[in-house]
Each structure stands twice: as C-alpha cells, then as structure tokens.
Amino acid sequence: MSWQAAVDERMIARLEAHERRGERLTRDWSVSSSLREPRSHVEPSDWRAGYLRADRERDVPPELQADLRQNMPQALLRDLYRTVHEDRWVQREIVEGTGDRVGREAMQVAREARRLPSLPRVEPAVRAVLEHQRWRRALLASPWQPVKR
C-alpha cells in the first residue's frame, strides 16, 4: 500500500500549493560580491597632483652654493628675525560703530518697547452721581428768584 492511497488527494494538492507559494516568498539575502578594495590614495596621480613631484633638477648658481657652505653662528641668524617689543602705554580709543558692541543700548530700547503703558485709573461713577445730586438738591432748595425784580 502506497502513501498516496492512504492520504486524501485534496490534502496532497493543498500541500503542493503551499509549497509553491513558499518558494515565491523566499529571497536571496546574500551580499553582492561586486565590492572592490578601498583605494589608499597614496600615489600622486590619484590626487591629480603629479606636477608636485620633486624630480626636476635645478642648477644652483655657484655664488649661492658658496653662501650656503659658509659657516655662520646660529645666534646671528636668530638676531636677524628677532622682533622688538616696546613697553609703552597705549591709550584705548573707541572706534566709530563699536561703542556698544554688546548691544546694551539696543536691549534697553527693546525692553522699553515691551513695557506696557500703565492702565488709566477708573473712578467709580457713584461719586459723580452723588455730587450731581447734591448740586441739584441745593439748586431746588434755594428760593426761586424771578428774573425781573
């Protein structure tokens, strides 16, 4: 008896379809081998600086060769390039446009602009009404005077 006779044909078809779908989902995750060794850029031609090679010979004049061969004390050569510093007072001057380098004046102007004006004092209207009532009562309480006597 073979295994195909013992198993249902629909089950076999389903397993084969599952296997086919699984083959479609597999991917090759290997890294490509087209990579090359990194370049070291040691040769002048790699830097496109072949004109900097020092293989050109130059003819040095005999006077220069004689001057280079002459012995000279190192102290004399040092004195040739020694800078002289003077100890004197230098009065500082304000250069135009650099008086307020930090911007303190501008910051003070900005702070003043941000400050809100004080709110006006609103007096209660009751006082004005009471004052008007006193005046009117005093007017009504005074005896009435005719225009012509």
- φ, ψ dihedrals at 101, nearest 5°: -70, -30
Instruction: Say if residue 74's pLDDT is above 90.
Output: no
| Identity of the residue numbered 74 | Q
pLDDT of residue 1: 60
d(CA 109, CA 115): 10
pLDDT digits (tens, 9 = 90+) for 44-69: 677 766 566 666 667 778 887 787 77
pLDDT band for 77, please (50, 70, 90 cuts): low
pLDDT of residue 105: 84
